[in-house]
Amino acid sequence: MDYEAYFSKSIAALKDEGRYRVFADLERQVDNFPTALHRSGPNQAREVTVWCSNDYLGMGQHKAVRAAMHEAIERFGTGAGGTRNIAGTTHEHVLLEEALATLHGKEAALVFTSGYVANETTLSTLGRLLPGCVILSDALNHNSMIEGVRHSRAEKIILKHNDLADAEAKLAALPKDRAKILAFESVYSMDGDIAPIEGYCELAEKYGALTYLDEVHAVGMYGGQGGGVAQRDGVQHRIDIIQGTLGKAFGMVGGYIAGSKATIDFIRSSAPGFIFTTALPPVIAAGARASIEHLMASNKERAAQQDRVAQVKRRLAELEIPVIANPSHIVPVLVGDAAICKQVTDKLLSDFNIYVQPINYPTVPRGTERIRITPGPLHTDEMIDHLVASLDAVWEAFGLPRSREAIVTVAA
């Protein structure tokens, strides 16, 4: 086989479709987020405003976090030096897991190298080892959960997105004593809608299912201490396993689950993605804990984020720029075509110094291509004015449709 020709042809097809991915070469600047230096070629660099970061609250540059990391690197050095079982569990890992358990009101927590690994290895391990297990998984679950379910080889039932009646019908059709996992997210990252968590808890209790909740896009941002939507809604004690990331609002890297002592001990003892890999560097654990502890005590960042989000949504609605309606911090602006979406974001970058990444298939269904805007506490009024005026100008330039109605659903 001519491997090179095969790879080149596949890439050419992506380019034809307008969904070839170009990574923006960014240099983040401490104390200046969400401004960053964008390099578009040798000796070509410009300051841009980042409007699509998952460093939702700017914790990636927070003074207390930086200080904790400086101190940790001087005290403990760089890498962990092993897997968690063989010399890699440092005291910083122990402290981080205690902080995460406290954050979610659980007995224990377990840290992984990423949120992706946390989902993939936890779900695949549960599905593989719980006898006769069936996994009921929301249709819009993240790829990391889908892959976990697939690798478990357990029976899989796809649930209509955020649809309690569908979930109940499918649960009721299963034998009461059969092992079942109800797997869903709180904030869905591309549409920004939020699951009916309490309803799922009621169903799980009625039909004997284990609840598995991905709070990746909610931890740090919702609830009195940043424990997520389940904390905000007062139902976190009813969720069996809460999964989260250290890489988004906490501004670090890594993932975790929190749950009962026995659950965590079981995953710790049997999940390959936890066991067979080097532990995170202690400096990462120290920084993550500083970030978590800051956001547990401070509402300032959450309140400012909510304020910025509300402003951007209101201003875009006034201009009839089509935003997918949702109750979260995510502002999805619908374009509906991969090539145009790419041209729109290229123009925002080249003419207006605004960086937003086009979101295309397979991240979202074809025909629902969009710009995903994530306003944060550090976006100023001037930045918002500029964003809104720039989008207005680009909408005009491309003759893109305006919509008086908020877009309620984009399911393809």
- Binding to ligand PLP by residue 144, rule CB under 6 A? yes
The residue behind tokens 């969400």 is 34
Please identify, using beta-carbon distances, which residue of 117 and 400 lies nearer to ligand PLP: 117
- Binding to ligand PLP by residue 245, rule CB under 6 A? yes
Name which of 38, 238, 57, 241 is nearest 148 in CA terms: 241
- Decide if 274 contacts 126 (C-beta within 8 A): no
CA 165 to chain centre: 26
Between CA 96 and CA 285 the distance in angstroms is: 6
AA identity, residue 129 = L
- Binding to ligand PLP by residue 226, rule CB under 6 A? no
Residues 6+ positions from 206 with CB-CB distance below 8 Å = 171
Please identify, using beta-carbon distances, which residue of 140 and 290 lies nearer to ligand PLP: 140
AA identity, residue 51 = W
Name which of 118, 121, 152 is nearest 136 in CA terms: 152
- Binding to ligand PLP by residue 395, rule CB under 6 A? no
Between CA 68 and CA 78 the distance in angstroms is: 14
Between CA 130 and CA 229 the distance in angstroms is: 28
- Binding to ligand PLP by residue 55, rule CB under 6 A? no
- Binding to ligand PLP by residue 225, rule CB under 6 A? no
Give the CA radius of gyration of the chain: 22
Q: How far is the CB of 276 from ligand PLP (least distance, A)?
A: 17
- Binding to ligand PLP by residue 305, rule CB under 6 A? no
| Out of 137, 152, 189, 291, the residue judged to bind ligand PLP by CB under 6 A | 189
- Binding to ligand PLP by residue 116, rule CB under 6 A? yes
Stretch that binds ligand PLP, among 75-83, 209-217, 302-310, 388-396 (CB under 6 A): 209-217
| DSSP state, residue 280 | P
- Cα distance between the two ends of the chain: 37
Please identify, using beta-carbon distances, which residue of 179 and 283 lies nearer to ligand PLP: 283
**3-class state of residue 216 by DSSP:** coil
Q: What share of the chain is helix, strand, coil (3-state, %, to 5)?
A: 45, 20, 35
Phi–psi pair at 214, nearest 5 degrees: -85, 110
- Binding to ligand PLP by residue 184, rule CB under 6 A? no
Q: How far is the CB of 166 from ligand PLP (least distance, A)?
A: 20
Please identify, using beta-carbon distances, which residue of 188 and 355 lies nearer to ligand PLP: 188
Please identify, using beta-carbon distances, which residue of 285 and 321 lies nearer to ligand PLP: 285
- Binding to ligand PLP by residue 214, rule CB under 6 A? yes
Stretch that binds ligand PLP, among 110-118, 170-178, 360-368, 369-377 (CB under 6 A): 110-118
Helices 91-104 and 282-297: crossing angle, nearest 10°? 30
- Binding to ligand PLP by residue 142, rule CB under 6 A? yes
Please identify, using beta-carbon distances, which residue of 84 and 142 lies nearer to ligand PLP: 142
Name which of 228, 233, 242, 213 is nearest 302 in CA terms: 228
- Binding to ligand PLP by residue 216, rule CB under 6 A? yes
- Binding to ligand PLP by residue 282, rule CB under 6 A? no
The site for ligand PLP, by CB under 6 A, has a size of 14
Stretch that binds ligand PLP, among 56-64, 211-219, 220-228, 274-282 (CB under 6 A): 211-219
| DSSP state, residue 238 | G
Between CA 392 and CA 374 the distance in angstroms is: 18
**3-class state of residue 47 by DSSP:** strand
Determine the length of the chain.
Answer: 412
Q: Which strands sit side by side in the sheet containing 331-334, from one edge to the other?
A: 331-334, 370-373, 358-359
Stretch that binds ligand PLP, among 28-36, 84-92, 108-116, 290-298 (CB under 6 A): 108-116
Stretch that binds ligand PLP, among 115-123, 226-234, 305-313, 368-376 (CB under 6 A): 115-123
- Please indicate whether residue 15 is annotated as part of the active site: no
Q: What six digits make up the tokens of 389? A: 């005026």
Stretch that binds ligand PLP, among 167-175, 212-220, 289-297, 363-371 (CB under 6 A): 212-220
Catalytic hit among 106, 170, 180, 248: 248
- Binding to ligand PLP by residue 193, rule CB under 6 A? no
- Binding to ligand PLP by residue 247, rule CB under 6 A? yes
The residue number with the shortest CB distance to ligand PLP is 115
Catalogue the active-site residues. 248
List residues binding ligand PLP (CB under 6 A): 114-116, 119, 142, 144, 185, 189, 214, 216-217, 245, 247, 255
